[in-house]
Amino acid sequence: MPRLTQSDLKSLNQNFEERTPFELLQWAHQIFGERLAFLTAMQKTGTVISHMIKHLNLPVTVLFVDTGVNFQETLETRDRLISEYKLNVRTLHPELTMREQTEKHGILYLTPEGQATCCHTRKVEPLRKIAGEYDGFIGSLRRAEGGRRGKTPILSIDKEMNALRVNALANFSDEELEAYTEEHNVIVNPLHSQGFTTIGCNRCTTPVMPGEPPRAGRWRHLGPWSMYCGINPTDVSDTDQEYIELPQDVIDRVLGIENDFMI
């Protein structure tokens, strides 16, 4: 099977720097069609992209991993996207309920090692079960979030899912995010107005105090070494030397080879 590496995407990533999220979403749909999905945890960036998908009338499946310990506000936000934006939201679930997991392994999230296992079990594994169904995933990571995300490429390799990630908001600033939200009256998870700058599971996510880093509310009880859950490959590894395997015609479309559609 032909391979696509992160290095192959260097020129394309440079060309895409000046493109708008709308253009990137349209490009992704043109390239991947029905084999494109959007992955969101129902944070503000996710609902902004959801609104853009609705605005563009793109038939893109929205993927949401219900860990079993999401905040009720997050589940209600998902339901609003279904009812108000008429989006096709596909909810994924871990194999074990949180009670079953605790009975079998104890309370994992009390240590850094356990947290990594818990996040992998409840977030990553449900997604990996559908590996192969999609060639492209729209993501909502932004460089403005800082940390490892400060260098987020617009296009990145997702080796675990053997797919291409399209980070449509990579160069979207905080000001642009807020302006779009207000201008279009975007559905927003109520937790954001309660001090949550980033939203995850109810066991490991807390509000953030003024002056704290945006991700200070994630795994606060474990210290600064626990910042990411692992569901986004660029958060936890260097993808430069990794590759995915896709049909040659898909790779040709991505790279603009013998393809009339190019933004």
Q: What is the pLDDT of residue 149?
A: 75
Count Cα atoms within 13 angstroms, Cβ side, for 95.
Answer: 9
Candidate CATH numbers 3.40.50.720, 3.30.479.30, 3.40.50.620, 3.30.420.40; the one for domain 3-194+226-255: 3.40.50.620
Give the DSSP per-residue string, 75-143. Answer: HHHHHHHHHHS---EEEE--SS-HHHHHHHH--GGGSHHHHHHHHIIIIIHHHHTTTTS-SEEEE---G
**Active-site annotation holds for 204:** no
pLDDT tens for the chain, 263 residues long, are 899 999 999 999 999 999 999 999 999 999 999 999 999 999 999 999 999 999 999 999 999 999 999 999 999 999 999 999 999 999 999 999 999 999 999 999 899 899 999 999 999 999 999 999 999 999 999 998 877 778 899 999 999 999 999 999 999 999 999 999 999 999 999 999 999 999 999 999 999 988 888 878 888 888 765 555 556 565 545 556 689 999 999 999 999 975 455 55
Q: Which of 118, 119, 201, 229 is catalytic?
A: 229
DSSP strand E in the chain: where? 3-5, 36-39, 61-65, 89-92, 136-139, 155-158, 163-167, 243-245
What predicted TM-score, i.e. pTM, was given to this entire model? 0.90
